[in-house]
Structures are given as C-alpha cells and as structure tokens.
Structure 1
Amino acid sequence: MEYPSIGTSDLKLSAITFGAWAAGGWMWGGNEEKDAIQAIRAAYDHGVTSIDTAPAYGQGASERIVGKAIRELPRDKVQILTKYGLRWDTTKGVFHFKSKDNQGQDINMHKYAGREGIIKEVEDSLRLLGTDYIDLYQIHWPDTSTPIAETMDTVSDLIRQGKVRHAGVCNYDATQMEEAAKHINLVSDQVPYSMIKRGIEKELVPYCIENRKSILAYSPMERGVLSGKIHPGHVFAAGDHRAGLFYFKDENLTRIQRFLDSIQPIADEKGVSLSQLVLRWTLAQPGITVLLCGARNATQAISNAKAIELSLSESEVSSITEHLNELRLNPDA
C-alpha cells in the first residue's frame, strides 16, 4: 500500500481508502452489517488503514458500523474520515433532495453547516465511531445559507479542542476552496472522479496542484459501472439509487462495455482484474491523491487493496486514455 501525505499536513492516508457509504445501506438497497464489518477488517489487513464515512450514510448506521469494525484495531493506525453538513433531522439550511431512510420512511435532506449544527454533529459522530478524535473532518456539500467563514471557524475551534485533527471539504469548486482556505488550513477536497467523469480536470485539479491540496476521488468505479459486471437489463434492488442514473441506461452500459473490452487485454496481460486496472489508471492521473473505494464484502475489499500492487508505465496509461477518449460519454447531454 502507498500512504501519501494529505495537503501540506502530517496526515497520511492509504492511497486506497475504504468508502463506507454502502455500509450504511442508505440508497444502496440495504446492507449486511456483518459483511460490511468483515470488509473493513479485511481491507485493513491488506493495508487500507483509512475509512471514509458520514452521518448521512444510513442516518448514523455507517458510522456505527465503522465504529464496531475498528473497535479492536489500534486507533493510532487507523485514519477516520467523516463529514458534517448533510442533515435529515432539520429543515435549516438548503433543501437538497427527497429520500427514504433504511426503514422506508420519507426524509428530506438539507445542506446545513451552521455553527451549532456542526457542534452537534461532531459529538454524535464521536459517539457513534467510539473515538475521541476525527482525523479528517469534511463538509459534505457546500451550504450557501451559511458563510464559509462561520463553518470553517467552527471547525478550527474543534481542531483547537482536539476533537478534529485536520479539515477538508467535499464537492467544493476551486473558488469555494480558495475562500475556505482563508479561514483554515484546508488539506483536501473530496470530489467525484472516474474514467468517465473527469470534469474536475479543467479547474479544480490545476488549483489543487498549484496550492498543494489533495484530491480524494470518490466513486472511481462510477458506482460499479466500470467493473464490467453490470450489463443492459440489470435489475437493481429496491432503494438502489443507481437504477435511474445516466451511466446505467442500457445504451450507455453498452458503450461503456465496448470501452472496457478494449482495455481488457491490458488487464489480462498484467494478470489483474478489470476493476484493478481501472483503479490504478485513475490513481495515476495528475492531482489525484487517494481513491475512495466501497466494498460490500471482504473479497471486494481485498481486490480493491491489491490494485495498488499493479504497475502501469506511462505508455500504458496513455494507451488506456486513448481508448477512453473515443468513448465520449456526456452525462449532461
């Protein structure tokens, strides 16, 4: 495993970090707690020491499961990343979207990162995670109803209190990051990035490289579509949010599969899975520091961790990119 430094801080994360959204079940058609715990522990045994979660993932379920999974692990060898500012239990802030919790009850998600909200959330997270500090605390989504200064000043207070070690953001653009950095030592931005979703390359990546901020890429497998295991006609479990997404429409699944078939020979030559090849290419892109990889079970977690063992030459990365550039998928079309 590789352990890059995050931003200019002394925080080091595993290059493959365990993404625990699906562990909470919410929007993924449910979960098996036992499998999620085994996946986290298997990942740790293979060098994945960092775990990313959030209160919203199962409305506390993911954080609780992560807490159980790491209970017997040495705390100083595990890096906990969690978030704040995506609420289902208040109408403050900005309405984000309608959803259902794991019990099928309607909930409304709001983006809210006011001072008193953050103070409540950090205490809830510490309790559920069973720890007295969070290694990287990140705003989940920009909250336009709260000044960035108020949000970041509050997190600065939490750092001084020892409850938080480092501050990051999620889903911020370069302008928002620049404003946040005036109020706190911001080390990272967690954003969606994959072979077929590369919009951040235009502005955010250059900003982060120039200002020495790390990019934590979430959904590098584009919610599983780049594994090559989801084909036209696939039926998702009830509550699985992927069913209506652009990339999972039959015509796009067909086009994506055509691309994956074109790079399959490289995976075969290397003796790795297609998923491992996809992950390694993604990590090789400029400005990308860490990949957040979800896993439903220990087998998937181990496969993700072993992607780091793959070595790709510059020419191999370029060859994959050439095939990719022929795909031309536009989710905004």
Structure 2
Amino acid sequence: MEKVQLGKSDLKISPIVFGAWAIGGQAWGGNEDKDALEAMQKSYDLGITSIDTAPVYGFGHSESLVGKAIKEIGRDNLEILTKFGFNWKTEKGEYQFPTSDGGKTYAYAGRDGVIQEVEDSLKRLGTDYIDLYQIHRPDATTPIEETMEVLKELQQQGKIRAIGVSNHTVELMKRANSVINLVSSQSPYSMVYRKIEKDILPYCIEENVGILAYSPLQRGLLTGKISSDHEFKGDDHRANNKFFKEPNRSRTNAFLDQIKPIAIERRVTLAQLVINWTVQREGITAALVGARNAKQAEENAKSLSFTLSEKEIQTINAEMDKVVIDHEV
C-alpha cells in the first residue's frame, strides 16, 4: 500500500488509517483487547501503517492499546495520530480543567491542558513523539491562536511532528493556519453525509490541507450489514444516532442495493467498495476505518486492491445523490 503525503508536511501516511475509537470499548458495546491488538498487527502486515486514536476513546484505553501495538510492531514502522482537547472527569481527578456545562466530557485546549495531555499521551503510547497531533474539538474558552502557539513549542521540542484539527470550521482552520503550518483536517465524510463539500473540502484543496475522512462507512451503516430490525447492545451510541433511525436506515439500505451490482462485479464487499470510493474522492487524503479483529482488518486492507472506473463512479454518484441524508451542499 503506497503511502500518501499529508498536506504541506513531510509526513506520509497510509491511505487507509486504522481508526482506534471502537477498540477503546466505550460507546461501541465493548471490545476484546486481544482482538484489537491482533487487528492492529494484521493491519500493519497488510500495509496500513497509520493509527489514529485519542485520549477520550475509552478514557485512555485506546491509546494504551495502541502503545502495546507500537511495542510489538516497532515505533519507526508506524505513524501515530492522536488528539487532545476533549477531556473527561473521573473520581481520581484526571483532567480537572474548567467546563461550562459540568458534563462528563468537555472541550479544553488551554496551555496547561495541552502540556499535560501531550505528556499523558506520550506515556500511554510508550513513545517520545507523536506524528500528528490534532485538536479534537473546538474550545470556546481558548482562542485557537493561543492553542496553536503551544503546539508550535511542542513541535520545536520534537514532541510532535505535524499539527492538525478535527471537527473544526473553515474559519477556525484559517485562524490556526495563520500561526502554524496546518497539515490536516479530520472530518466526518461518507456517501450519506457530505456536509464538508460545502466549504471545508474546497478550502483544504486550495490550501493543501489533507483531509482525514472519519466514519466513511457511517459507523457501519454502509457495510450493508445493519438490517432494519438490527438491535444495538450495551452502550453502543448508534442506537440513538439519526442515521440508524427510520426511515434513514431503510433509505440507505435501498441505496446499497442499487450499487451492490458493482461490488459483485468487482468481487468485493460493499464496505470495500465504499472505502475505495472514499479514498478516490477528490481532496480526500485518507479514510479512517476501524477494525475490531484481524478478519475485519484484512477486509479493510483489500479495499484498495482495485480502482473504480469513471463509469462506476458516475453510477455510484448518481444513486448517492438520491439518498444523501444530510449533505447540505
């Protein structure tokens, strides 16, 4: 799997990035650590060398698992992407920074928070540097310029290689870019959720800011495996997600039925077809795709074993435009 350059940086990543949210266990109905480690190893074996995680995924558990994978695979063989600025409170007092709503999770990217978070992430990951450090969510209490100044210092210290944002508007990206070399925007993007095409995608193309598309499978909905009567277990957040409610679920499955012949002709799964389409989309640098076990990791890696023709892309796009739930373009 040939690596791609991320924005204006010298950092190269795999076009499929291992998304490590689900392996944290929280909000996905649980996960087995052994399976998660095998998934990361298999992904690496098949050319997926980049892993994206965050402290809040499993409240530190995802980063710790990634740290174990780093130890087994070797630090120099991987590109580690993590985040900061989306924190939580625990009984032990971790991340006790100001929060306006008193909620369990909250955004905070002040100087003291960033400095503490980078050290905590480095410790959990078992490394002395992070390849891409991303502000997870906008912090209304701290000007983004101040946050970027701290990141510039961390970059000069060698603790981070490149700087990105996640879930930020074009206005905030412009402000960040005035202080540092912004290399990426991690944004939600899928066949049924194309909101970034309105402004974020054009801006990133113009400014050579890489886009890391997360939830390209719309959290599993675009795999074609979520039937109309599927029930989610435990704390799985998808139970209350609008994309999984009717009539959206049925509309999406009807759309998948229309493009399924292309997958059959290509001898690939629907998920592989969707991932391939996403990576081929103009302006998309890489797709973040999760895997709970080695089998899923292997299926993900096969997504780039073919190239969609222009005719196939046109067919997919025509059907897609009929079903998009919330693209706002």
TM category, shorter: over 0.9
Task: Name the structure 2 match of 1:35.
Answer: 35
Task: Name the structure 1 match of 2:68.
Answer: 68
Task: Name the structure 1 match of 2:23.
Answer: 23
**Residue 165 of structure 2 corresponds to residue 169 of structure 1:** yes
Task: Name the structure 2 match of 1:116.
Answer: 112
Q: Is the 8 A contact 2:97 2:113 kept in 1?
A: no
Task: Name the structure 2 match of 1:151.
Answer: 147
CA distance in 2, matches of 1:95, 1:258: 43
CA distance in 2, matches of 1:93, 1:12: 36
Aligned AA for 2:115? I
Task: Name the structure 1 match of 2:198.
Answer: 202
What are the residue-to-residue correspondences of 1:102-251 with 2, within 5 Å? 108-251=104-247
Q: TM-score, normalised by structure 1?
A: 0.94
Deviations 1:134-184 (A, max 9, x none): 000000001111011110010111111111111011011111100001111
CA distance in 2, matches of 1:317, 1:3: 23
Q: Is the 8 A contact 1:49 1:79 kept in 2?
A: yes
Task: Name the structure 2 match of 1:101.
Answer: none
Deviations 1:270-305 (A, max 9, x none): 011110001111111111111000011111111111
Cα shift at 1:250:
3.4
CA distance in 2, matches of 1:20, 1:59: 12
- Say which of 237, 255, 261 aligns to 1:259: 255
CA distance in 2, matches of 1:116, 1:23: 28
Cα shift at 1:306:
1.1
Q: Is the 8 A contact 1:95 1:109 kept in 2?
A: no
Task: Name the structure 2 match of 1:306.
Answer: 302
What are the residue-to-residue correspondences of 1:255-294 with 2, within 5 Å? 255-294=251-290
CA distance change for structure 1 residues 187 and 123 in 2, over 3 Å: closer, same or farther?
Answer: same
Aligned AA for 1:218? Y
Aligned AA for 2:185? D
CA distance in 2, matches of 1:235, 1:279: 24
Task: Name the structure 1 match of 2:92.
Answer: none
Aligned AA for 1:294? G
Deviations 1:239-274 (A, max 9, x none): 000001111113221111110010110000001111
CA distance in 2, matches of 1:231, 1:250: 11
CA distance in 1, matches of 2:134, 2:288: 14
What are the residue-to-residue correspondences of 1:38-49 with 2, within 5 Å? 38-49=38-49
Aligned AA for 1:194? S
Aligned AA for 1:238? G
SS state at 1:223 partner: coil
CA distance in 2, matches of 1:313, 1:186: 33
Aligned residues: 323
Q: Is the 8 A contact 2:223 2:271 kept in 1?
A: yes
Aligned AA for 2:287? L
CA distance in 2, matches of 1:22, 1:82: 14
SS state at 1:87 partner: strand
Which range moved further: 32-41 or 279-288? 279-288
Cα shift at 1:91:
5.6
Aligned AA for 1:302? E
Runs of 4 or more consecutive aligned structure 1 residues displaced over 6 Å after TM superposition: none
CA distance in 2, matches of 1:209, 1:97: 38
Task: Name the structure 1 match of 2:80.
Answer: 80
SS state at 1:72 partner: helix
Q: Is the 8 A contact 2:136 2:167 kept in 1?
A: yes
Instruction: Calculate percent identity across the aligned residue pairs.
Output: 53
CA distance in 2, matches of 1:212, 1:53: 23
Q: Is the 8 A contact 1:93 1:143 kept in 2?
A: no
CA distance in 1, matches of 2:96, 2:126: 28
Q: Is the 8 A contact 1:54 1:84 kept in 2?
A: yes
SS state at 2:142 partner: coil
Cα shift at 1:124:
0.5
Q: Is the 8 A contact 1:86 1:111 kept in 2?
A: yes
